[in-house]
Chain A
Amino acid sequence: MEFLLSSAIGLLTAAGVYLILRARTYPVVLGLALLSYATNLFLFATGRLVLDRPPVISALANGYTDPLPQALVLTAIVISFGMTAVIVVMALRSYLENGSDHVDGETHSEDRS
């Protein structure tokens, strides 16, 4: 299970990094979204992987997983939504202003980048 999660985090990171290096705003938005998933999962995994022990106190429970990474990730999810929204709107505004959705606001030859 640990291998599945770690490899998934690695794959999400690689895909995210590849996409944020693209020249248009839309893939960059997708790349950032993938990187958010990867980061949130990574942070979550700092509490280690535990099955069927949610951190809800109860007399029947026979143990709990680490609640702190979950609390951190919960706010991180909401904040990364806020940031994705800002990036999307920036991409939109930039496209409306420049008539191009290139990340530098204008299309230019690749030798500069």
Chain B
Amino acid sequence: MSLALIVILPFLGAILPALMIRAGRNACATSTFTVTLLAFLLLMTHAPAVFRGEIVQIRWEWVPQLGLNVNFFLDGLGFFFAGLILGIGLLIITYARFYLAKEDPMGSFYSYLLLFQGAMVGIVLSDNILLLLIFWELTSLSSFLLIGYWKHLPEGRQGARMALTVTGAGGLSMIAGMLILGNIAGSYDLSVILQHKEAIQASPLYLPALLLILGGCFTKSAQFPFHFWLPHAMAAPTPVSAYLHSATMVKAGLFLMARLWPVLAGTDEWFYLVATTGLITMVIGAWIALFKDDLKGLLAFSTVSHLGLITFLLGLGSPMAAVAAVFHILNHATFKAALFMNAGIVDHETGTRDIRKLGGLMALMPISGTLAMIAAASMAGVPLLNGFLSKEMMLEEAAHTAWLGHDWLIPALATLGATFSVAYSFRYIVHVWFGKPAGETPRHPHDPPFGMWGPPALLVVLVVLIGLFPAAIAGPLVATVAGAVIGGPLPDYHLAIWHGLTPALGMSAVAVVVGLSLLMAYTRVRRGWAAGPHPEAKAIFQGTLAAAVRLAQFITHGLHNGSLQRHLAFTVGAAVVVGFAAFTAATHAPGNRELLPATPVAVVVWSLLVGATLAVVFLHRQRLTALIAIGVVGMVVSLTFVYLSAPDLALTQISVEVVTVILILLALNFLPKETPSESTTGRRLRDGIIAALAGIGVGGAAWAMTTRNAETLSGYYLEQSVPGGGGTNVVNVILVDFRGFDTFGEIIVLGIAALVIYALLDGATHGAVGRKLAAWAPDQKRAADRHPLMLVVATRVMLPLALMVGAFIFLRGHNVPGGGFIAGLVVAIALIMQYMASGYSWAAQRMKVDYHVLIGSGVLIAAATGIVSWLAEHPFLTSTFGHFHLPIIGEFELASAMAFDTGVFLTVIGATMMALSNLSRIGCLAESLPLQEAPMEPDLRNANEKAREH
């Protein structure tokens, strides 16, 4: 449990600094520190077990079907990294309290920092690689927030975006690689994967998996050629740089290479990919670092170089090199974090980080200067400091490794890297702290408060102690961690300052001598460097990005330039192409279902449909005619449903037909009555071809389907309808009972559609559109007889009858065709007839029901029916029914599904009426009619006009 808590604590604690900042900056920093300290102490409680060689585990199932489990485990490697992350985190939190300026929002800084910390700890403690990937992505995201913390600096934003793009792309590659790896091993649990070395390395997918995983590791750990994001991430505040680039984020890639070392390393592919990349990165990074004038730029490229060194060691694949890698990770974290904080102090005190403007600071800032000297000397690999020891081990390994048969190549390159490393490290010492005093710095420098130099001082003490007594201070830790990396017996080694006159010592000596002479002749070396080419990574990156954006825009705008016609043509065209491609790619046998005979009546009705459809197409410019034709199509569809055993559908279709026609008529009141002829013949031909192909495709699919038999699950519904749902009309029972949840969703959609209509139409009554409506001139002559007497009388007489029919259809719906949908539509038609016959104002005054309320209560009643079944401890919408006896009426049945159907009924009435009545209201507004109380009054305006005409 406490293991998971180590990961969860920083995430939970991330809220604290955001809240505590109200209590002041100290409270904010203290809360962050406390959270991290708690996690650190929890980690330390496991130290005895880890040093005994035990593995602490905790396992929870999350999505076991996917192999995704919340499994954490703690062994030497995880302990080491978690310790680095939390331990250096504590120092950084302290340092940042004094570093951040008053105007910097400290709360969000510490919140981001804790999120990042949690994600990093998650990576190093995950036992499940899918879980690890989640944390991996979280580090990319949270580091984006940290690097871009100074939102007002364009460099900060660009650097953050570049880091996110590069590490995010690497993360994608990593996901693919990890999935392959998990597939080969048959499990996504690291502890299982680590047992399958032979299976993984023998798999044909080993190389793809390796390449993809290395893609993630190399981008994260800034290996050549992905190293370019790291220097740009230096736009972040210095505590972020110190944290991300010494101990945490960039080490995540190394961690993963170390974690998977037992199963991935040891092959030729591994050696040539990893060791070569590491070696190149080491040399190039060190070379560029020598010419960086920005202190943090120098440290950034130095970090790139040292990461390359560690990658190179891991790539060698020998246990001895793995020990050296672990040791150097530890040493690099100590001296590099100290140096980053030191660079921040210089920046903070002098106001500049430009080495050319600095010099002679030793006299002004003796404490910081001394710390810088020791840490930089360790980076250079000066004896008696920890950097020397691990660098020596690296050179020793390099000394007897051949590359493609050339045994001089690797030692030479390693010595070259070490030489540059000596040169830039001493440049940091000499050009900043000694020499000509800096006179022109923006601020007058002096040593900062203890809070800022204390944390680096602590690290420098470690640098010296490990350097002097490596076996005593770091020995047990290195042994435990290296044991976890190697996953087998440790090689015979001892951490010591003096190993005798080894080749490594000679290489070291060469590096120091040549490195120092490079620095002596710095001006000349620099001139030579300036003459060479310098590809600017940022420009290349942004150029590539811009090209990608242009390509995306070209494709997107080509497909969709804002024209609906073009967009729809592409959409339908694509569907046609895909459909026909699939059809021609497969083989087809003719259907074997016994077909129904085509009766003469059916043929006549079919001809009617064909004629009406063609009429819609060819007469669509005459809009009213086309509406009549489409009404005929609707009738034929209803008849089809009657004929083919679907009475419920026929009833629904016919009622929907009526309301649709009324709706379109109301809209046509405003819309032009004719469509202009504007398409070219070519366009019509193109559309005709697309349409014909789509029609042939869909018709063919329908033919193929209806001529084949198929197994369906309808048997279940037919059997269960009466015993399970208490109704004989299976369609209705399915709607309100078996698939009630579907229906519930659909009435909500219907309600939302009605509200959208209300919003669109209500919005049309105000503003510019409202004024346009008020000044509306009807384009057709109005009938003098606005409310025909016969219609008014007939609809009023029919209203109670129609309502009765609606109630009847509703009540019988469970057992014979009918139900809430159809009843709702019938009642809506009865009501809308009143609007049509007697006018909007008259009807609206008498309709006491608000349609919003009707829709809302309908949905709520349906929901309440569902929730009631919870009370009886059944799932949502479980129905029940029973038979009751009443005097006179006799035996009758009552099902809870009826209540649900009532909800459907009310929603359908509300939605339909909302659409139609609001359209009528707009019509009323446009005609600027006086409120007519008496519906049978003649329309006086037209009468007056007529009188004038006479």
Contact = CB atoms under 8 A, between A and B. Distances in A.
Q: Are the chains A and B members of one assembly? A: yes
Interface of A: 1-30, 33-34, 37-38, 40-42, 44-58, 64-68, 70-71, 73-75, 77-79, 81-86, 88-93, 95-97, 101, 103-104, 110, 112-113
B920 to A, nearest CB: 12
Contacts of A22: 565, 620, 675, 679, 687
Contacts of A81: 656, 659-660, 912
Contacts of A2: 593, 595-596, 703, 706-707
A11 B616 CA distance: 12
B57 interface: no
B908 A78 contact: yes
A71 B652 CA distance: 11
A86 B768 CA distance: 22
A19 to B, nearest CB: 6
B672 A101 contact: yes
B761 A67 contact: no
A45 B602 contact: no
Contacts of B660: 33, 81, 84-85
Contacts of A54: 645-647, 817
A10 B698 contact: yes
Contacts of A23: 565, 678-679
Nearest to A4: B606
B100 interface: no
20 contacts: A2-B593, A2-B703, A4-B602, A14-B691, A21-B568, A33-B630, A37-B634, A41-B637, A49-B706, A67-B731, A74-B821, A82-B750, A86-B753, A86-B756, A88-B664, A92-B671, A93-B763, A96-B670, A96-B764, A110-B678
B613 A83 contact: no
Interface stretch (B102-110, B163-171, B356-364, B735-743): B735-743
Contact of B714 (A11, A34, A47, A79): A47
Contacts of B728: 56-58
Contact of A89 (B692, B772, B919): B919
B649 A17 contact: no
B675 A24 contact: yes
B596 A49 contact: yes
Given A90-B760, A96-B773, A8 B565 contact: no
B473 interface: no
Contacts of B705: 45-46
Given A42-B702, A66-B714, A77-B656, 4 more contacts: A37-B637, A44-B649, A71-B734, A110-B680
B572 A17 contact: yes
Given A2-B706, A11-B613, A20-B568, A70 B667 contact: no
Contacts of B423: none
A51 B643 contact: yes
A15 B626 CA distance: 12
A29 to B, nearest CB: 7
Contacts of A6: 699-700, 702-703, 706
B68 interface: no
A90 B753 CA distance: 11
Nearest to B668: A26
Contacts of A91: 667, 671
B370 interface: no
Contact of B706 (A13, A45, A77, A78): A45
B696 A10 contact: yes
Nearest to B597: A1
The winner among B643, B671, B746 for most chain A CB atoms within 10 A is B671
B648 interface: yes
Q: Across chains A and B, which 4 residue pairs bring their CB atoms closest together, nearest first?
A: A10-B699, A14-B695, A1-B596, A113-B563
B731 A95 contact: no
B757 interface: yes
B201 interface: no
Contact of B595 (A1, A65, A75): A1
B652 A78 contact: yes
B235 to A, nearest CB: 43
A34 B620 contact: no
Given A26-B623, A75-B735, A104-B563, A12 B613 contact: yes
A90 B667 CA distance: 10
Nearest to B566: A113
Contacts of B730: 55-57, 64, 67
A8 to B, nearest CB: 5
Contacts of A20: 568
A7 B667 CA distance: 32
Nearest to B761: A89
Contacts, number: 320
Nearest to B610: A11
Main secondary structure of the interface of B (DSSP, over half): helix
A21 B699 contact: no
B695 A13 contact: yes
Interface string B871-899: 00000000000000000000000000000
B754 interface: yes
A5 B616 contact: no
Interface stretch (B34-42, B445-453, B715-723): B715-723
Given A10-B696, A34-B616, A89-B760, A51 B671 contact: no
A67 B717 contact: yes
Contacts of B647: 54, 56
B606 A8 contact: yes
B709 interface: yes
Contact of A27 (B656, B675, B718): B675
B48 to A, nearest CB: 64
B295 to A, nearest CB: 55
A98 B277 CA distance: 62
A96 B688 contact: no
Contacts of B117: none
A95 B645 contact: no
B675 A75 contact: no
Interface string B902-934: 000000100110010001001000000000000
Contacts of B869: none
A3 B77 CA distance: 71
B912 to A, nearest CB: 8
Contacts of A93: 760-761, 763-764, 769
B598 interface: yes
Most buried by A among B617, B643, B919: B617
Interface in B507-547: none
A5 B640 contact: yes
B437 to A, nearest CB: 69
Nearest to A93: B760
Contacts of B590: none
Interface string B647-683: 1110011001001100110011011100110111001
B596 A13 contact: no
B769 A96 contact: yes
Nearest to B679: A23
Contacts of A11: 609-610, 613, 695, 699
A21 B687 contact: yes
Given A30-B626, A56-B729, A74 B714 contact: no
A101 B672 CA distance: 8
Nearest to B911: A82
Given A25-B671, A49-B706, A104-B563, A34 B633 contact: yes
Nearest to B919: A89
A41 B634 CA distance: 11
A5 B702 contact: yes
Contacts of B817: 54, 56
A68 B717 contact: yes
Nearest to A24: B675
Contacts of B434: none
B645 A65 contact: yes
B663 A79 contact: no
A21 B749 CA distance: 26
A23 to B, nearest CB: 6
B591 to A, nearest CB: 8
A50 B695 contact: no
A82 B824 CA distance: 13
Contacts of A101: 671-672
